[in-house]
Structure formats: structure tokens, C-alpha cells
């Protein structure tokens, strides 16, 4: 009986290992999904190809999101002139009036979208935890996914590398 358990465990371990091996090197492209900005303008992530992009899923009720936002603004201001774009996607449960007030009072300089239907979060992998931030390269591929506040020094290094790519 023990032999069967060991065999089953070995088969499971091999399956996990092969799956992990196959997943390595696979690039994930950001979904070509529409989003609506605070001013009502509709855009699509596919339109951002050619730029390095940060996509930040956040909520006004998320203390870590609020805490990291000044550093997100600094990152945007530091690299925007060199080709960094930024879309802050407010979660579907965040009241639009709160999002608009937050963006206005903190003078957020980047694009702020409201994901009223939850479709953007769903298409990015069913995002439920905030903050979740994606860094996309110029080809629209996900280079890094951050759950929680990023290490901004490391993020800046990665942004520098991606901006330098042809």
C-alpha cells in the first residue's frame, strides 16, 4: 500500500515539475481590453504597445494602495518623459465619486480608469487583491506582477531596463 502512495506522489511531483518547466519562458501578453477613464474616454491596453506600462489595480479603501500612491506618482513623473505610461484601475466596488475625488485631491498625473463591470480585473487574471500592479514591456507582455507594494528601487531598475530596450 505504501508503494502505491509513493508512486502516486512521484507522479504528482513529476506532473507539477513538468508543468512548471513548460510555464518557464512563456510570456503572458496583457489583455486587449477596453477601459474607461474618469473623463469618459475609452481606451484599450493594445493601444499602449510601444510603451512601457504600469497597470495598477487599486481601491480608495485599500490602505496599502493609498500609502503607495505618492511613490507611484513619483515613478510616473520620473519616467513618463522617457516613454512610461501608467493606468491606475480602480476596482469595481470602489464608488466612482470616491475615485474621482481621490484622483483630483491628490492630483494624480496618470490615467485613472474605473472598472465598473469588473471586466478589466477579470481579464488580467481575476484580480481581487489590491494593490496588484503589472509592469508591461513595449511589446505588451507582462514582465512582472506585484502583489502588494512593490520594492520601488527594484521596480525603477526594471523600468530603466525596459525603457532602454529597442
Domains and CATH numbers, the chain: 29-164 (3.40.30.10)
- Rounded-to-integer distance, Cα 20 and Cα 17, Å: 5
Do 130 and 57 form a contact (C-beta atoms < 8 A)?
yes
Pull the grid cell for residue 21: 518547466
CB count in 10 Å sphere of residue 128:
11
User: ∠155-69-149 over CA atoms, to 5°?
Assistant: 45
**Whole-prediction pTM value?**
0.83
* pLDDT by residue, tens only, the chain of 166 residues: 555 544 444 333 333 443 433 334 567 999 999 999 999 999 999 999 999 999 999 999 999 999 999 999 999 999 999 999 999 999 999 999 999 999 999 999 999 999 999 999 999 999 999 999 999 999 999 999 999 999 999 999 999 999 999 7
Q: Give the burial string for 11-25 (b: 16+ CB within 10 Å, else e).
A: eeeeeeeeeeeeeee
Amino acid at each position: 500500500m505504501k508503494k502505491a502512495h509513493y508512486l502516486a506522489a512521484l507522479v504528482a511531483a513529476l506532473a507539477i515539475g513538468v508543468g512548471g518547466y513548460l510555464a518557464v519562458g512563456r510570456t503572458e501578453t496583457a489583455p486587449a481590453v477596453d477601459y474607461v477613464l474618469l473623463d469618459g474616454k475609452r481606451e484599450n491596453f493594445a493601444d499602449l504597445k510601444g510603451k512601457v506600462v504600469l497597470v495598477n489595480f487599486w481601491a480608495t479603501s485599500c490602505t496599502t494602495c493609498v500609502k503607495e500612491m505618492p511613490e507611484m506618482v513619483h515613478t510616473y513623473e520620473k519616467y513618463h518623459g522617457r516613454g512610461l505610461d501608467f493606468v491606475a484601475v480602480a476596482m469595481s466596488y470602489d464608488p466612482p465619486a470616491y475615485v474621482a475625488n481621490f484622483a483630483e485631491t491628490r492630483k494624480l498625473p496618470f490615467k485613472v480608469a474605473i472598472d465598473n463591470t469588473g471586466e478589466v480585473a477579470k481579464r488580467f487574471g481575476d484580480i481581487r487583491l489590491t494593490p496588484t500592479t503589472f509592469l508591461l514591456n513595449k511589446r505588451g507582455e507582462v514582465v512582472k506582477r506585484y502583489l502588494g507594494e512593490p520594492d520601488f528601487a527594484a521596480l525603477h531598475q526594471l523600468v530603466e531596463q525596459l525603457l532602454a530596450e529597442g
